[in-house]
Structures are given as structure tokens and as C-alpha cells.
Amino acid sequence: MHSRLLLVPASLIAASPVMADEYLTFDQARTLLFPGSSFTPVSFSLSDEMVATLQQTAHVTVLNRNREVRAFYISGGGILFIDQVPGHDDWITYAVALNDQGVVKGIEIMECVERFDQIRMASWRAQFAGKKHATFNKDKVTEISGTTLSSTHIADGVARILAVYALIMNSTAR
């Protein structure tokens, strides 16, 4: 009997995707951020001109994946964004709630890899509340040791969302 040894390159094993854990569905996130409200979708794609404005004026990075803006106007006022940023091993899906003045009401982490889920801590997420585009400094967001990449990318994402609202959405009528 002959046996064969199958060698799989380590790079293929290391490159296998890690699946994110779902912590909140869209309905759960919107209920936490805007309880009892109804929503109207307002999703759109960022044009090359919009991306250039965001990069030049707000100094934010717009990945190809982030060109699709998923947002919802809230019946009682405000807007809810659903966004993704790269985490350490997978994409992080999160929701950002803004009031009518473009001020962060709160954020919720919907999906991320469990071993990097410290970004779900209420105390860490609370530092975004009350921030708006004109005064938000993503470099002042506290990084979490062991989750530095995830916490930095969430700060970048919130900065981009605030810029999209202030420079693009706020200038157009609903």
C-alpha cells in the first residue's frame, strides 16, 4: 500500500478567511439607536467627484467598498448609516446614528471577529457621541490595545461618514 503526503502551502492555510460573528441584526441596531422610529432608505453611490471632495476637503480615505453609502432617514429626525471597515481578519459592520445637526448620537458594532470585539465595549463607543464633522479628530479616538487596527478603522469610518453627511448629504434636500 502506498500513501501520499499532501502538502498544503502555509500561505493557503493562513489566507483562509475568518468569519465575523454577528452581534446585532440591522433591526436590532436601529431599535437601539432610534427606538420606535420608521426609516426611509436613502442609499447611493459616491461619484468620482464626491470621492475627490471627501479626500481633499475632509482628508478621509474612501475604499471602493465604501463608495456605496447605505443610509436611512429617520421619521423623528436624524439619519442612520450602515458601514463596513476592514478589521484584522475580516470586515467590521457597524451602524452610526446622527441627529438632524449631523452630531453622532451613537454607534453599534453589528459584526466583527470575536477575538477583536473589544470595540463593542460601551465605554469605547461612547467617545463618538456628540462628535460632528467640523470638530471630530479621529486621531483623538482612544485605541484599544490588541484591537488597534479595528479601533483605528472604526474611527476612520466614522470620520468618513461625518464628512459624507456634512459635505454631500446635508447640502442636498431630502
What confidence tens digit (pLDDT) does each residue in 106-134 have? 999 999 887 777 899 999 999 999 999 99
What confidence tens digit (pLDDT) does each residue in 39-49 have? 999 999 999 99
Q: What is the tally of structural domains in the chain?
A: 1
Average pLDDT rounded to a whole number, residues 152-158: 94
Is 11 a domain residue?
no
Q: What is the pLDDT, as a whole number, of residue 36?
A: 94
**Which amino acid is present at 21?**
D
Asked if pLDDT for residue 2 goes beyond 70, the answer is no
Neighbouring CB atoms inside 10 A of 119's CB total 20
Q: What is the pLDDT, as a whole number, of residue 115?
A: 75
Q: What is the mean pLDDT of the chain?
A: 86
| 51 CB-near residues (< 8 Å, 6+ apart) | 62, 67
Residue 16 banded pLDDT, cuts 50, 70, 90: very low
> How does 79-95 read in b/e, with b if 16+ C-beta sit within 10 Å?
bbbbbbbebbbbbbbbb
pTM of the model: 0.85
Is 4 a domain residue?
no
Is 36 a domain residue?
yes
Q: Which of 17-26, 30-39, 98-107 has the lowest mean pLDDT?
A: 17-26
Residue 50 banded pLDDT, cuts 50, 70, 90: very high
Asked if pLDDT for residue 17 goes beyond 70, the answer is no
Q: What is the pLDDT, as a whole number, of residue 148?
A: 86
Q: Domain of residue 131: give its range.
A: 19-169
d(CA 136, CA 127): 11
Is 26 a domain residue?
yes
Is 49 a domain residue?
yes
